Amino acid sequence: MVPYPEPEWGTSQQAYEPCSSLVATGITPFILSGIIIRLLQYHFSDPANIINDSLRGYRWKADCNQAILPPDKTAIGSIYIGMGYEFKPALVQQRPGLFVKREPVTVTRIAAIQGDRTPPHIDRVKGVLQGAEYQKQLGGRFSVVCAGLNGSEADILGEEVFYRMLYFAPVIREDIRISQFTVDGLSDVKDLDVSDGVKAFYTVVSLQWAQIVRWAAVPETPVLKRLRLTQSILAS
């Protein structure tokens, strides 16, 4: 019988991929707006990410006012990526842009008749009153406005964003641990009167999201006991 030496055990390796830090901090509509913007900025910061060859002449940079020159010294146009309220007609006339607009947030009940609430109870280990736990589903839409210098540019910009989000939506949803993150559709090319007959062209990529929010409320004293009622009598 041939003896085999005992193997040497090294440092154990993680068998799982850690999730995003946003899992601990939580997702809010404002944070989700920033996530979408950063994903688009990353996509247009490297030409290798861009699907459509016609858009590889554009590059996102933190300071869009600086010239972008690759090693071959060929001038590259800049693209603006920001929030929807940063949209300005003069800005669109100078360079294309992507503007992320948050639509209204809705609140939906998860279950019927007290299904969103658990009654308070006593923690038998700690001996303290545990507050009622609540849960609601928040949801809404994001509109990514893809503005171009002409109709065809707005069209291919919309397609680029549409397919980028369509392909990576499942990965984004799993990474930030959100209940729903899907692509709803891509609009047709629309035009907007800027000034003196000059038009801006844009398309809209619609995104749908939903997130379940849970929280607990632990009352210290009844609300009425914290109020002091005074009565004043006016002399007639």
Residue 219's pLDDT band (cuts 50, 70, 90): low
Nearest to residue 192, comparing CAs of 64, 101, 87? 87
Per-residue HEC secondary structure of the chain comes to: CCCCCCCCCCCCCCCCCCCCCHHHHCCCHHHHHHHHHHHHHHHCCCHHHCCCHHHCCEECCCCCCCCECCCCCCCEEECEEEEHHHCCHHHHHHCCEEEEEECCCEEECCCCCCCCEECCEEECCCCEEECEEEEEEEEEEEEEEEEECCHHHHHHHHHHHHHHHHHHHHHHHHHHCCCEEEEEEECCCEEEEEECCEEEEEEEEEEEEEEEEEEEECCCCCHHHHCCCCCCCCCC
Q: Supply the pLDDT for residue 38.
A: 93
**Quick check: 210 pLDDT over 90?**
yes
Q: Supply the pLDDT for residue 185.
A: 95
Q: What is the pLDDT of residues 49-103, one digit of tens each?
A: 999 888 888 888 776 544 444 454 445 678 889 998 887 766 766 788 899 999 9
Q: Supply the pLDDT for residue 67.
A: 46
- As to burial, measured by CB atoms within 10 angstroms (0-12 exposed, 13-18 middle, 19+ buried), residue 124 is exposed
How large is the average pLDDT for residues 195-202? 79
φ/ψ region of 135 (left if φ > 0, alpha if ψ in -120 to 50, else beta) reads beta
**Quick check: 213 pLDDT over 60?**
yes
Q: Which residue has the higher pLDDT, 166 or 122?
A: 166
